[in-house]
């Protein structure tokens, strides 16, 4: 309950969840990048993502890596949903129930953020999400609320035309 309390800073009023979300996001991104770069299972995840068969031949237990990846992804999805639905219920109290389709638009926007930032770049996806969120709020502030979702998908089309690898994506080199 404390996370949905109201906080007043000067003349602005907001919810605690609005302040906690970007801070927790940065902490979790730093933890995830450190985990992937510094641990043995993180190295195995990187190896499996580059070359599945060779990783298996090198002795990496693929099933353990896949399980660990799903556990981490599920944990991060749970944290994201808790933050999203705490804010969702606080902003729109009449829709305080959760139905299976309520996460479809945030899921699509997360995909756009990942493409915008660069597939495979965790910090890039987060920066892409922050840029999209800030731009959507500016559009809503200008009174064009109906166009905020359209902006996200127009941005996806533009980024795929201009820079298909995203802002921080790397061009994949294929060996023949």
pTM for this entry: 0.79
* Average pLDDT of the residues of the chain: 86
Check whether 10 has a pLDDT greater than 90: no
Instruction: Return left, alpha or beta for 59; rule: phi > 0 is left, psi -120 to 50 is alpha, else beta.
Output: left
Element (H, E) at 84: helix 62-91
Three-class secondary structure of residue 19 per DSSP: helix
Q: Which residues contact 85 (CB under 8 A, 6 or more apart)?
A: 98
The HSE-up count of residue 130 (CA atoms within 13 Å, CB side) is: 12
More confident residue, 51 or 170: 51
Question: What is the chain's length?
Answer: 176
Contact call for residues 87 and 137 (beta carbons, < 8 A): no
The percent of residues in the chain predicted with pLDDT above 90, rounded, is: 33
């Amino acid at each position: 309950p404390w996370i949905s309390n109201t906080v007043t800073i000067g003349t602005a009023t907001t919810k605690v969840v609005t302040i906690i979300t970007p801070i927790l996001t940065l902490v979790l991104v730093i933890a995830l990048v450190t985990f992937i770069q510094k641990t043995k299972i993180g190295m195995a995840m990187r190896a499996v993502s580059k070359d599945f068969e060779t990783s298996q031949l090198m002795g990496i237990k693929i099933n353990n890596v896949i399980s660990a990846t799903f556990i981490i992804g599920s944990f991060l999805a749970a944290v994201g949903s808790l933050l999203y639905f705490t804010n969702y219920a606080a902003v729109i109290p009449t829709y305080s129930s959760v139905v299976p389709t309520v996460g479809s638009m945030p899921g699509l926007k997360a995909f756009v953020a990942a493409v915008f930032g660069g597939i495979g770049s965790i910090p890039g996806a987060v920066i892409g999400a922050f840029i999209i969120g800030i731009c959507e709020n500016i559009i809503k502030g200008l009174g064009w609320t109906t166009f905020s979702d359209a902006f996200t998908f127009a941005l996806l089309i533009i980024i795929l035309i201009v820079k298909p690898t995203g802002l921080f994506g790397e061009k994949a080199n294929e060996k023949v």
